[in-house]
A = this chain, B = another copy of it.
Amino acid sequence: MLKDWRKEEKPDNEELSRRLEQARIQLAARQLAIKEKHLPVLVILEGWGAAGKGSVLGRVIRNMDPRFFKVDVGKEPSEEERRRPFLYRHFIKIPEAGKFAFLVGSWMKEITRGYVQRELDEEAYKNRLVSVQRFERQLTDNGYLVLKLFFHIGEKEQKKRLEELSENKSTKWRVTDADLDQNRNYKKWENVYDEYMEQTNQSSAPWYIIDSRSKKWAELQMLELMVQAIDTALMNPSRAVPLLQNRFPLEAIPQLSAISLQDKVLKEAQYREELKVCQKRLGELHNELYRKKIPVVIAYEGWDAAGKGGNIKRVAAALDPRGYEVHPIASPEPHEKARHYLWRFWTRLPKEGHIAIFDRTWYGRVMVERLEGFCSENDWQRAYNEINEFEKELADWGAVIVKFWVQIDKDTQLERFTLRQNTPEKQWKITDEDWRNREKWDAYEEAVNEMLQKTNTVYAPWCVLESNSKQYARIKALKTVIAAIEKKLKERV
């Protein structure tokens, strides 16, 4: 990118001022347009130290309405952030529909620095690039405008600026050792930036290089690029994108209809006994997880009245309350709905050593959202791969991932609905919606089967809990969680 980049000619001052004024007016108008059309705009500002990213952005936002944007300056990951998956601190910053997010120094900064400082070896670096390609592609596929700007200055110009900053007492603090090191090894950094940008230069989110020798001129380039990119994005109110072939290792899993339920029972006495043993063991393991900083994600999906709540309760009862959280997932709130559908799960990820239990999950995309038409066909069809990618990030991070489908048959559901209906203290648990969903049982079963087939990855497999007998299902859940944790602990040794 940098190596064959061709500078635009900087216009003369008169022309520059004229175009600046025009571009500011245009951007102001685009703010309202993106709000009206619900377009989320993510602007990434990367570039050389002392290239002026911050001050150019300062000029750009001076003419913007503060309600429409957020600015985030990329710092080194905090201790807290280091305890989450690499993409976590970036993903949670994506804007909501109709708003701008400006990120000054983002994942590019983090990855290139990590590579140069050898915190990332060749393989880890390549894996990061794959993560970034997926992340950015997921954003644009889901209707985000992702605008990637690289602020460029030459070696001499950078040196001059660093010297000027150093000489002035009030700006001296802004020159870091990293900046000086970068200038001393300019060629090396240029290669690293170049390679990174070539590898992440997707047609749906290309890189743009900003000639940053003059602030006004850099501001103009940024403004004009924003206006142009927004106009292009607004021409595509909804857009279907090619579905990608699965590249993750899948394991076969039986259809729901092939799972026998009647024989999966547990007598009360045996249940009591096993529950005690399992909970004790899980409690011990929770301690060990905490010490070894292993994160755990447990996902529950299943039919209404299948017994998810009671099941989760038995697992949670074994855990230290300081080290786990249960996330009940209902319909998304407006601020969640306004973002990528995985955002509200990214924000709820546990820290290393902690356990997050999701009562309903990201699989809503390929079940309720699919069947109720809350997203387009292309959206939910794409989601299998997006979810596999999401869980791959968790697996690569080192998480134990357990996904439960809590299974009952249709008759059992009817029994439980009827019981709830007829028991005053249980009536709150049954709604008209439950009855409506029940009418769509067959369509849901088809969707669940497709989901199980397409997301039963080796690194995040499904476990079906036969829950006509709730006791049986609870013990199986506990044993599955225990086995998954024990397996991970062995790998870690």
Contact = CB atoms under 8 A, between A and B. Distances in A.
Nearest to A137: B203
Interface stretch (A113-121, A242-250, A324-332, A485-493): A242-250
Chain A interface, >50% SS class: loop
A54 interface: no
A236 B235 contact: no
Interface in A210-238: 228-229, 232-233, 235-236, 238
Contacts of A61: none
A28 interface: no
Interface string A242-270: 11111111101000000000000000000
Q: Which of A137, A247, A378 has the most CB of B within 10 A?
A: A247
Nearest to A209: B245
B241 A6 contact: no
A205 interface: yes
A206 B242 contact: yes
B235 A205 contact: no
Contacts of A141: 203
Q: Which of A8, A203, A232, A239 has the most CB of B within 10 A?
A: A203
A230 to B, nearest CB: 11
Contact of A250 (B6, B229, B233, B235): B6
Contacts of A235: 238-240, 376, 378
A9 interface: yes
A5 B203 contact: no
A207 B245 contact: yes
A4 B389 CA distance: 14
A307 to B, nearest CB: 31
B242 A229 contact: yes
Contacts of A240: 232-233, 235-236
A144 interface: no
Contacts of A4: 247
Given A206-B244, A229-B242, A232-B242, A9 B378 contact: no
A63 interface: no
Interface in A1-57: 1, 4-6, 8-9
A202 interface: yes
A204 interface: yes
A230 B13 CA distance: 51
A208 interface: yes
A235 to B, nearest CB: 4
A232 B378 contact: yes
Contacts of A249: 6
Interface string A287-304: 000000000000000000
13 contacts: A4-B247, A6-B249, A202-B202, A204-B241, A204-B242, A207-B245, A209-B245, A228-B243, A229-B243, A232-B241, A233-B240, A235-B378, A236-B239
Nearest 5 Cβ contacts at the A-B interface: A235-B240, A232-B240, A208-B245, A4-B247, A206-B244
